[in-house]
Amino acid sequence: MAASSSFMKLLLLLPNILLLCSLVSFVSFAHSHPLKICNFDQIYQLGDSISDTGNLIREFPIGSSTSFARLPYGETFFKNATGRCSNGLLMIDYIALDAGLPFLPAYKDRDADFKHGVNFAVAGSTALPSHVLAAKHILSPVTTSSLTIQLGWMSTHFNSICLHHRECAEKLQTALFMVGEIGGNDYNYAIFQGKTMDELQSMVPEVVHAIINAVRRVISFGATRVVVPGNFPIGCLPIYKTAFHTNKSAAYDENRCLKQLNDFAMYHNEQLQQAIEKLQQEHPNAIIVYADYYNAYQYLLHFAKSHGFDTERACCGSGGKYSFNMTRMCGAPGVGVCADPGRFLSWDGVHLTQEGYKIMAGWLVHDIFTNLHCHF
């Protein structure tokens, strides 16, 4: 009778035991490196300052004179400036680590080893060519190395490592391609050069078209797994919150982000996702995955608030409510750096801290992993 009673108690406890096992399994997965399961042996990155690991600072004549070429940029991880627009690692660095690969070298670093991939991203770059933007009376003040130029570099690189297309296609079957984030600067330059929201919205189809054409191009090289990130909720960034500060409470959402700018970012992302769905139908043999930078950042905000991060101010900056001044940005003489960048989301008012990128990258990896169709 006692044995029977013990068995009944065990049966009653079984659902809780199974739940505990499931939770342990989930936590184990969450702290593992799921991209290793994909067996990627190379990563190729196109994009802008969100992912540049050293191309802009090697461009003549502006690159080496930018703040990204000197401390305090890079101070936390590298103890030196590498051209990354942060105090340390970027999302692409964490993605590479998660895949079990080395950090991606910049294409313009001629001493680099490109065995495991290449980073073609350039800080300040745009989705649309600079001459197309110029026709809209929008200047590209930092670089002319737009998405088209980066694709040209990619083509040159593949021509140097493959004898013919078939060989490249075979080599790239186990590569991950990141097309973006790109397009954010097209809008940034337009906004800060006086374009209206209506003019901005009119640019979206053209910007999205440029991104989708880039995805087509990398598939033509032999890419089989392509990740296409969307835009950030730009209304949450100190640069925009400073420029468009208002006393109207209705202009802000529950996270104190500017609604109109976030609505615009969502509009771009919706158009991009629709275009990706159509492109996927055109190329059923390729896997094209949308990376939700918008909701990854929203998760980051939620995480940061519950863990005591400063979600408002830039760590490296000066002046005003958000420690940001367009005329005295991070790296300028006399501009200070916070004592603990690990407790801040924003590094310089435009880009995130290493800690911010780490949290976002963790969310993104687990979000895109299933859609990449990697198998245990």
Instruction: Answer whether 258's CB lies under 8 Å from 238's CB.
Output: no
CA distance 181 to 112: 23
- The predicted pLDDT at position 18 comes to 42
Residue 246 confidence (pLDDT) above 60: yes
**Residue 9 lies inside a defined structural domain of this protein:** no
Q: Mean pLDDT across the chain, nearest whole number?
A: 92
**Residue 375 lies inside a defined structural domain of this protein:** no
Residue 31 confidence (pLDDT) above 70: no
Dihedral of the CA atoms 352, 353, 356, 360 (nearest 10)? 60
Q: What strand order describes the sheet that includes 42-46?
A: 117-119, 42-46, 175-179, 225-229, 287-291
- The predicted pLDDT at position 376 comes to 55
Residue 26 confidence (pLDDT) above 50: no
**Residue 241 lies inside a defined structural domain of this protein:** yes
The 10s digit of each residue's pLDDT in 91-138 is: 999 999 999 999 999 999 999 999 999 999 999 999 999 999 999 999
Tell me, yes or no, if 348 is annotated catalytic.
yes
| DSSP 3-state percent helix, strand, coil across the chain (nearest 5) | 50, 10, 40
To which residue do tokens 């003549």 refer?
A: 60
pLDDT band for position 47 (50/70/90)? very high
Cα–Cα distances in Å, from 222 out to 36, 141, 210, 217, 237?
21, 33, 19, 9, 36
Residue 321 confidence (pLDDT) above 60: yes
Average pLDDT of the residues in 310-316: 97
Residue 214's contacts (CB-CB under 8 Å, 6 or more residues apart) are 46, 127, 147, 151, 179, 182
DSSP string, 301-317: HHHHHHTT-EEEEESB-
The 10s digit of each residue's pLDDT in 255-298 is: 999 999 999 999 999 999 999 999 999 999 999 999 999 999 99
Work out the angle at residue 203's Cα, subtended by the Cα atoms of residues 235 and 258, and round it to the nearest 5 degrees: 10
**Residue 26 lies inside a defined structural domain of this protein:** no
**Residue 358 lies inside a defined structural domain of this protein:** yes
- The predicted pLDDT at position 30 comes to 39
Nearest CA among 76, 87, 55, 43 for reference residue 365: 43
Tell me, yes or no, if 22 is annotated catalytic.
no
Helices (H), the chain: 2-30, 91-98, 130-135, 147-161, 165-171, 184-192, 197-221, 238-243, 259-282, 293-306, 354-369
Residue 223 confidence (pLDDT) above 90: yes
- The predicted pLDDT at position 236 comes to 98
- The predicted pLDDT at position 11 comes to 44
- The predicted pLDDT at position 165 comes to 87
The 10s digit of each residue's pLDDT in 176-208 is: 999 999 999 999 999 999 999 999 999 999 999
Max distance between CA atoms of the chain, in angstroms, equals: 88
pLDDT band for position 32 (50/70/90)? low
**Residue 226 lies inside a defined structural domain of this protein:** yes
Residue 6 confidence (pLDDT) above 80: no
Name the token pair of 354: 């290493």
Residue 10 confidence (pLDDT) above 90: no
Query: What radius of gyration do the chain's Cα atoms show?
Result: 22
Residue 170 confidence (pLDDT) above 80: yes
- The predicted pLDDT at position 34 comes to 85
CA distance 315 to 83: 18
Residue 58 confidence (pLDDT) above 90: yes
Give how many domains the chain has, as a whole number: 1
**Residue 301 lies inside a defined structural domain of this protein:** yes
Cα–Cα distances in Å, from 370 out to 34, 43, 222, 300, 366?
9, 18, 22, 21, 7
Instruction: Answer whether 292's CB lies under 8 Å from 369's CB.
Output: no
Tell me, yes or no, if 49 is annotated catalytic.
yes
Three-state DSSP class for residue 291: strand
Average pLDDT of the residues in 151-158: 97
Query: Which residue range(s) make up the domain with 164?
Result: 34-370
64: domain CATH number?
3.40.50.1110
Average pLDDT of the residues in 365-372: 94
**Residue 44 lies inside a defined structural domain of this protein:** yes
- The predicted pLDDT at position 319 comes to 87
DSSP state at residue 226:
E
Residue 5 confidence (pLDDT) above 60: no
Catalytic residue among 67, 109, 140, 351: 351
Catalytic residue among 4, 32, 49, 109: 49
